[in-house]
Amino acid sequence: MRSIKKFFLWSFLLNRRFLKKPLFLFILCLIPLTTLLARQIPGESTSLLSVGVCAGQAEDELTARVLAQLTQSDQGSAVRYIRYHNEKQLRQAVFDGDVRLGFLFPKDLSALFSSFAAVPASGTGGALSILGQAFGASDSEAVDKKGMQKNAIRVICGSNDIVTKMEKEQLFGKLYPEIERYVLKAWMDVHADDFSTDKEKRDAWLDRLLSDSTVTGNFFQLSYLNGDLIQDQELNTYYLSPLRGLLAITLILICFAACLFLMQDNQRQLFVWLSPSLRPWLHYLYLLIPVLDGGLFVFIALSVSGVGSGLSELAPFLLYLPAVCGFSNLVRVLTGKMTLLSASIPIVVMGCLFLTPVFFDLQIIPALQAVLPTAFYLRTLHGASTLLPLSLYAAVTSGASILIDWLKNR
């Protein structure tokens, strides 16, 4: 009973001591500040890619309608289309990096769609050939002579990379409703005997029919590996997804700051009165107290931001806290000097940012990924991994750091 009271007394005194340190308070303030800044993103553009569009010398009615649809405000779109008045401005925007690439529409877009609709089925070679023809394939054998190449949409880009290819396919999907309309009209012209002989009435009937049958619901239903469905209101909050990883890295910074304070106190011999067998445990408690404070702030921030999963995330989060302490304490006892520990901080932060799934889940250098606690924590969420790897990581790093600390203090 006396030992328990002493444990809580030490915890209280250590916590009060940390709350008086300006650096620790500054890092704690970064947590709600980061969340507030992330919540302001919806007021800005949440698009992942900016693309320029421009009409030809004189745009037709179809081109004007398509460009208006592309450039209308859509907070849920991953691609933002920006309209430019002429080709010179479009090229300059691509050159300056204001947009990743640009699409120069022909002066008669309806001629392109009509040519597309008139391509014989045997000449298309499948959907990919159609896609290549519609965006100006250079292979003359793959281009229909009736106007496909003459009226092709020109792509202006700084490099022919994967983003350029993906954006061409994305724009093709945006144009598909209008292409579909022209393909159906071309088919109805061929089979005019089965419909009204008046082409204008026939086209008006088809336009009305397509408008009435427009599907506005979601084509896809997203779910995590554990089966939890991603709700509609969550679909457009992908810009907040790195927030959990950034806050997890903030806890590592808090623990490293605590390590520096601990090394200063050890240099001043504040704990020399304590038995050498108990010092490693006090050192670990010294790091755990501020991490618990920061963890409380982080969990509240995740809940307020809407990124957190509530109580379902509590178990992996609680395991992450000792994992952070074990990792940081292990780095402390292995480096042994404040200069080396300080030099390791940017290396650890960069490793967490780029080797763990904060922004992208890159499956590279697995051995280095296995060293970092954020990798285990982030992959445990939503059923991507079980709690066992994170539990073992927390136990191994904590136990190893305490053992090495005990051997150095004998």
Instruction: Considering only residues 83 and 207, tell me which one the structure prediction assigns the higher pLDDT.
Output: 83
pLDDT digits (tens, 9 = 90+) for 19-64: 777 877 887 887 888 777 766 655 445 566 888 888 877 677 778 8
Q: Determine whether 309 is exposed, middle or buried from the number of CB atoms within 10 Å of its CB (0-12, 13-18, 19+).
A: middle
Residues 288, 306: Cα–Cα separation, whole Å:
26
Domain coordinates of the chain in residue numbers? 2-41+236-408, 48-212
pLDDT band at 275 (very low <50, low <70, confident <90, very high): confident
pLDDT digits (tens, 9 = 90+) for 77-114: 678 888 898 888 988 888 888 888 888 888 777 777 76
| Residue corresponding to tokens 């931001």 | 305
Residue 188 has pLDDT above 60, yes or no: yes
For residue 213, the model assigns a pLDDT of 54
What pTM, to 2 d.p., does this model score? 0.63
Residues 211, 213: Cα–Cα separation, whole Å:
5
Q: What is the mean pLDDT of residues 346-375?
A: 81
- Among 67-76, 81-90, 203-212, the range of highest mean pLDDT: 81-90
Residue 312 has pLDDT above 70, yes or no: yes
For residue 133, the model assigns a pLDDT of 44
Residue 401 has pLDDT above 90, yes or no: yes
Residues 333, 335: Cα–Cα separation, whole Å:
6
Residue 365 has pLDDT above 90, yes or no: no
When mean pLDDT is compared across 1-10, 214-223, 390-399, the lowest value belongs to 214-223
pLDDT band at 240 (very low <50, low <70, confident <90, very high): low
pLDDT digits (tens, 9 = 90+) for 123-176: 444 443 444 444 444 443 444 545 566 777 888 887 777 777 777 777 877 777
pLDDT digits (tens, 9 = 90+) for 249-266: 999 999 999 999 889 888
Residue 50 pairs in a beta bridge with: 80
φ, ψ at 317 (rounded to 5°)? -70, -40
Residue 345 has pLDDT above 80, yes or no: yes
